[in-house]
Amino acid sequence: MKKGFRIIDIAYIGMAVALIESCKVALAFLPNIELTSFWLVMFTLLLGGKALFIVPIFVAIEASLYGPHVWVIMYLYVWPILMIASLISRKNDSALFWALLSGFFGLAFGALCTPAQVIFFNHVKTLEAGLKAGFAWWIAGIPYDVVHGIGNFTIMLVLYRPIRIAINKLGSAPPKD
């Protein structure tokens, strides 16, 4: 098996970004219910480490649509954390395992984003003020993190098995390039 990018890998990455962006827009009316986490896990299972290229492309599209802000920095390091955890665990085929991982990630999302907020808020006067502002930002967002965690858990539990079967079929298809 070739280690570099195959044409099909590039196609999968493009389709992954389009699918993630489409799902994000379709579910935008629901606060913190998203398929981004689900699809990043599933495409990581299909593409391995090559899937990490999805994140910067997705973030670039998001920033072009909504304008840049501190969330751009957050997305660039938070989503890869989930993907790396998926890479490490990719041999596990338990829907419950993936639902728990995805749910925990959703629950921890605000905490994972807090370091970027601390840096962003640090302009206020001192590091201590930035830490306090970042901590307050995280605490205020905990109800949204709970919704995010429950949503991620439920989505993964329901969709993991049928999508994993489809991904396994894609992964076993012989390369045409």
Which region among 31-40, 50-59, 85-94, 164-173 has the lowest average model confidence (pLDDT)?
Answer: 164-173
At residue 68, what are phi and psi to the nearest 5 degrees?
-75, 150
- In this structure, is residue 165 part of a structural domain? yes
What CATH number does residue 157 fall under? 1.10.1760.20
- What does the pLDDT read at residue 130? 78
Mean model confidence pLDDT for the chain: 91
Could you identify the residue written with the tokens 């999508």? 163
pLDDT-derived band at 120, boundaries 50, 70, 90: confident
pTM: 0.90
- What does the pLDDT read at residue 173? 54
- In this structure, is residue 1 part of a structural domain? no
- In this structure, is residue 2 part of a structural domain? no
**Higher model confidence: residue 164 or residue 131?**
164
Q: Give CA–CA dist 85/102, Å, rounded.
A: 10
Question: pLDDT at residue 165 above 50?
Answer: yes
- In this structure, is residue 92 part of a structural domain? yes
State which residues form the domain around 56.
7-172
The closest alpha carbon to 49, from 16, 5, 92, 93, belongs to: 5
> Do residues 45 and 167 touch, judged by C-beta distance below 8 A?
yes
Question: pLDDT at residue 1 above 50?
Answer: no
- In this structure, is residue 98 part of a structural domain? yes
The CA–CA distances, whole Å, from 79 to 7, 153, 175 equal: 24, 16, 28
**Higher model confidence: residue 13 or residue 118?**
13
pLDDT tens digits, one per residue of 136-148:
999 999 999 999 9
How many structural domains are present in the chain?
1
pLDDT tens digits, one per residue of 86-106:
999 999 999 999 999 999 999
Give me the mean pLDDT over the 101-130 stretch: 86
